[in-house]
Structure 1
Amino acid sequence: MDEPLRALLDRHGGLLTRTLATQVVPAWVLRHAVDTGDLLRVLPGVYVESCRTRPGRAGLAAPDSAEVAVLPPGSAGLAAPLSGSAGLAALRPELRHRAAVAYAQGRGALGGPTALHAWGVRRQPDDEPVHLDVPARSGLRSRPPHLVLHHRHGFRPEPPQAVTRRGLPVVRLDRALVDAWPLLPAVDRTAPLIRAVNDGLTTPARVGEALAEAPRLARRAELRVLLDRLSAGCRSPLEVWGHDHVFTGAQMPRLRRQFRVRIEGRTMYLDVYAERERVDFELDGATAHGDPRQREIDLRRDALLATRGILVVRFAHRRLVREPDRVRAEVLAILASRRAE
C-alpha cells in the first residue's frame, strides 16, 4: 500500500473518507488500494482497511460509479461486488458506527437501537442495521440492509438533540429509547428502558417527555404502560408482572415499590413494601438466587430487617408467573394476619 495512504489510515483508526484521502494522495492511489483489496469500500465515499474486518466476514460493497469507469476490466475483487452497504457487516460495531457517521458527513447521529448500544443499555446484534438520525432534507439515502436512515424534521446532530459519546454523535438517550421501542424485537423492548432508569441515566418522566414528541409512534400505548409502572417504582420485568397480576386490585392495600430503608449504616431497597403491616415482599428472579453465596447475603439482609420488625416474604419467579392467583391470596392472608397481631 502507498506509504502516505497507510500513514493516513493509521492516524484515523483504519477508516477514511474519499474527501480526506484525496487531500493527501491522488485519486488513483485510493482506487488502486480498493482494486488490490487493501481497502474495503463499506459505504459511498467511506473506506476501511481490509485487515480490520472480522474474520470470515470481509466483502466488498458496490463500488462508486466513478470508480467503475476508471478501473480496468477484470480488476481483482470487483468482478462480483456485493450490493448496498454489505461491507458494513464485515466490521466490528465501533468501526461500523464510525463508518456510518463518516458517510453522513456531519449531518447524522447514531439513533434508535444503535444509540442504545452507544449508551450501553443494549448490545446491538451484528445482524441488525446501523441506525442514523439525519435532517429531513439531508440528501442522504439508506443503504439496506445494513444502514437505515431516519429523516427527522428539525433534527440537528448537536445539543440538545444529540451528544458526543466516544467521539461519535449520538441521539440523546430519552429520544433513542422512544424511537427504538417499535424497532426492537418484542422480547427486547423493556430491558433497555428498565436498565437506563436503574442506572440513573434517565427517568420515566424524561422518557415520557420524549414520547410526547413522537405522537405517531407505533406501540405507543405499550410504552406508556411501562413508563407508568416505572413511575410507580417497578424496577424489573418481574416487578412489572407482579404489579399487574398480583399486587394491585381489589382488597390490596397501597404498597410501596423500591422503598428505601437504612439500618446500621446499610441502605436497602424493598421490592414491594406494606408500610402499615411492615411486610417486605421480595420478588426473586429466575436466576438471581441460584448462587449459595447470594442466598447467604439474602438471609443476612432478611435478619437485619427483622431487627426492625419487618417481615420478609420471598416469592420465586416461577410461582409469581405460574400461580399469580395463589400468590395474591397468600399476600392478602399475610397482610390480614399482620394487622390482627
Structure 2
Amino acid sequence: MHRSLQQLADTDGGVVVRRAALQVVDHTVIDRAATSGDIVRVCPKTFVDAARGADRRTLLRAVARYGGEHGALSHTSALEVWRLPAPATGPIHLTVEHGHQLRGATGVRVHRRKAPLDDVAVRDRMRVVRVERAVVDSWPLLELDAGRAPAIVAVNRRMTTPDRLMAAVEQAPRIGGRRGLVRLVELLQAGCRSQLELWGYQRVFVGAGFEGLRWQAPVRIGGHTVYLDAFDAGTGVDFELDGTEFHAGLADRERDLRRDAALQAEGFTVVRFSHARLRRDPDGVRRDALAVMGARAGAWLQHWRRPSSAG
C-alpha cells in the first residue's frame, strides 16, 4: 500500500475515508489500493486496511466514520461498543438523522430516525447511541436470555439505572415485544440483578409468605455494604441464589463463606440455593424457604430485642 495511505489508515484505527485520503494522496492511489485489495470497501467512500478487514472493532469504526456527525452506531452494534453482551456477528447497525441520505451496504443496516439524534455519546472515538437507547433498540433483535443480558449487565456495572431504562422504553412505544421489556425493567427496579434472580422472583419466591422479600437489600457489615439477594426483614433470613457465572471456583466459594460468617455473626440466617436446584425443583425450594422463615422468626425478634433490654 502507498506509504501515505498506510499512515492514514494507521492513524485512524485501520479506516480510510476517501475525503480525508484525498488530502494526502491522488484519487488514483486510492482507486489502485481498492483494486489491488490493499483496502476493502465497507461503506460508500469508506474503506478499511485489508490486514484488519476481519477485525470487528475496525469495521465498527469504519461504519461510525461513514455516519459522521449525523449518524451513530446503534442497536446491537452500540452494545458491542459499550462492551455489553451482544452477538459479534451479523450486520452493523447505524442510525442517522432524518433527511440525511446515507445508504446501507453489504453487512451494514441503516436506520432513519425522525426525531433528532440527541442521545449520542463518543466512546473509543466512535459516535454511538447511549446505553439505554442501545438496550431498548436491541430488544426485538435478541431472544430470551440474550435479550435480557444487556440490561442486567448495564445496571450491574452502573452504566445506567432501571429508571433511566424505563424512561427510554417510554420513548419507544412501538418497539416489538415491548410488554416483555417493560416487565424486565420493572424487575430490575424491584432489585433483581441476574438472570437467576429474575427466575427466582417470577417462578420460585412467589405467593403467600414471600410478600416481604427485598431483592438486593443493602446491609452494613464490618464497615462495608453487602447486598443480599432476597432478604426477609421479618425473619432475618437471606436467600442467596448461586448462579453458575459467579460461583464456579474455589476463590468464589471462600469469599461466600466469609461473607456468610460475617452475616451470621450479626444474627442473619443465610440459606443458599444452587442454580441447578432453583431450576429443577422450584416447589421444593419454596417449601424449604418457608420452613426456614417460620423457624427463624422468633430467633430474629429475640436477637433484636436483646440490646434494648440490656440497656
Alpha-carbon distance between aligned partners in 1 of 2:291 and 2:31, rounded to the nearest angstrom: 77
Match of 1:243 in 2: 201
State the AA in 1 paired with 2:223.
G
Alignment of 1:33-48 (within 5 A): 33-48=33-48
- Compute the displacement of 1:23 (Å): 2.7
Residues 282 and 313 in structure 1, CA contact (< 8 A), matched pair in contact too = yes
Report which stretch shifted further, 290-299 or 161-170.
Answer: 290-299
Alpha-carbon distance between aligned partners in 1 of 2:92 and 2:259, rounded to the nearest angstrom: 44
Alpha-carbon distance between aligned partners in 2 of 1:197 and 1:16, rounded to the nearest angstrom: 36
Matched positions, count: 299
Alignment of 1:21-40 (within 5 A): 21-40=21-40
Alpha-carbon distance between aligned partners in 1 of 2:222 and 2:12, rounded to the nearest angstrom: 53
Alpha-carbon distance between aligned partners in 2 of 1:327 and 1:18, rounded to the nearest angstrom: 63
Q: Structure 1: 5+ residue runs without aligned partners? A: 54-90
> Cα gap change, 1:5/1:301 in structure 2, threshold over 3 Å: closer, same or farther?
closer
- Map Cα deviations across residues 252-299 of structure 1 (whole Å, 9 max, x no partner): 241111111122223211111111111111111135334233222222
Match of 1:148 among 86, 89, 109: 109
State the AA in 2 paired with 1:43.
C
SS of 1:303's equivalent in the other structure is helix
- Compute the displacement of 1:41 (Å): 1.9
> Cα gap change, 1:140/1:287 in structure 2, threshold over 3 Å: closer, same or farther?
closer
Alignment of 1:1-341 (within 5 A): 1-53=1-53, 91-125=54-88, 127-144=89-106, 146-156=107-117, 160-341=118-299
- Compute the displacement of 1:18 (Å): 1.7
Alpha-carbon distance between aligned partners in 1 of 2:209 and 2:232, rounded to the nearest angstrom: 13
SS of 2:140's equivalent in the other structure is coil
Alpha-carbon distance between aligned partners in 1 of 2:3 and 2:273, rounded to the nearest angstrom: 66
> Cα gap change, 1:120/1:6 in structure 2, threshold over 3 Å: closer, same or farther?
closer
- Compute the displacement of 1:227 (Å): 0.7
- Map Cα deviations across residues 123-145 of structure 1 (whole Å, 9 max, x no partner): 441x221111111222122224x
State the AA in 2 paired with 1:39.
I
State the AA in 1 paired with 2:141.
L
Alpha-carbon distance between aligned partners in 1 of 2:9 and 2:155, rounded to the nearest angstrom: 39
Match of 1:83 in 2: none
- Compute the displacement of 1:28 (Å): 1.7
> Cα gap change, 1:46/1:29 in structure 2, threshold over 3 Å: closer, same or farther?
same
Counting aligned pairs with the same residue, the percent is 41
Alpha-carbon distance between aligned partners in 2 of 1:320 and 1:275, rounded to the nearest angstrom: 22
SS of 2:41's equivalent in the other structure is strand
- Aligned-pair RMSD on alpha carbons? 1.7
Alpha-carbon distance between aligned partners in 2 of 1:4 and 1:307, rounded to the nearest angstrom: 68
Alpha-carbon distance between aligned partners in 2 of 1:204 and 1:52, rounded to the nearest angstrom: 38
